[in-house]
Amino acid sequence: MVVLKSEAEIATMREAGRIVANTLAAVAAAARVGVRLIELDELAAGLIASGGAKPSFLNYHPAWAPIPYPGVLCLSVNDVVVHGIPGGRVLAEGDLLSIDCGAYVDGYHGDAAITVPVGQVDDAARRLADATDRALAAGIAAATVGARIGDISHAVETVARETGYGLPDGLGGHGVGKAMHEAPSVPNTGPAGSGMPLREGLVIAIEPMLLEGGGTRCRTLADGWTIATVDGSRAAHFEHTIAVTADGPVILTAP
């Protein structure tokens, strides 16, 4: 069931979103050559707590997962698309790191992601990240009252296809509220004019993931969480939680 949010609820989600945005910025600045992923996770844990929020991802246990999620962040490097578990991996020159963060305040969640270079990356990595960011912007711009979910999907897909990148099967955005993942599903592919109409008070996460190799197939690693490209090509991931309002889409996970 889709639950529309009141102005007060959206205001609370905006507070959660600011903490998410500030955490992402700090983690991105700390993502340097020689840093271990677990160090970035520990940094995020402290920042979320100091902001008066709690992490959305830690111990999250959907039905399909073999274990509760063990980290505060999802940290996905190079060919890992999403859900990379923070551990002892050391960041290296040229890595492409996706940082996904969720936090909640008074029971309401915010969820966002960015992809950042580690040290000097090649031009292809920068183009991939830039296209994914532009796909997110296009999806957000389409999230207006009276439009449909498919308009968001079509906007994201158009940017990906025009730039020659792939979109992973079965991965996309979602509603956000008292649960981190709520209805409706927000696919990254689909025809314009299809799906549920967008109404004022709808809060959703739009999150394109683009695959450098141009394919759609991914694989889940042995930990049951980490999703990586089948062909070993790199991926990028950007995400914002947004509210559909009479004045247009409002990004809740901005600084």
pLDDT in tens, 237-255: 999 999 999 999 999 999 9
Task: Return the pLDDT at 78.
Answer: 98
* Strand order through the sheet with 218-220: 80-82, 227-229, 218-220
Average pLDDT over residues 215-233: 97
CA separation for the pair 111, 118 (Å, rounded): 22
CA pseudo-torsion sign 40, 176, 52, 208: positive
Average pLDDT over residues 163-187: 97
CA pseudo-torsion sign 171, 176, 180, 185: negative
Share of the chain above pLDDT 90, in %: 100
Question: Does the N-terminal peptide bond of residue 184 adopt cis geometry, omega within 30 degrees of 0?
Answer: yes
Average pLDDT over residues 227-231: 98
pLDDT band at 52 (very low <50, low <70, confident <90, very high): very high
Q: Which amino acid is at 29?
A: A
Task: Return the pLDDT at 205.
Answer: 98
Share of the chain above pLDDT 70, in %: 100
Average pLDDT over residues 55-60: 98
pLDDT (tens digit per residue) in 93-104:
999 999 999 999
Task: Return the pLDDT at 107.
Answer: 98
pLDDT (tens digit per residue) in 111-153:
999 999 999 999 999 999 999 999 999 999 999 999 999 999 9
CA separation for the pair 248, 200 (Å, rounded): 9
Average pLDDT over residues 19-24: 98
pLDDT band at 189 (very low <50, low <70, confident <90, very high): very high
Task: Return the pLDDT at 174.
Answer: 98
Burial 85-124 (b: 16+ CB within 10 A, else e): bbeebebeeebbbbbbbbbbbeebbbbbbbbbbbeebeee
pLDDT, averaged across the chain? 98
Task: Return the pLDDT at 145.
Answer: 98
Average pLDDT over residues 191-211: 98
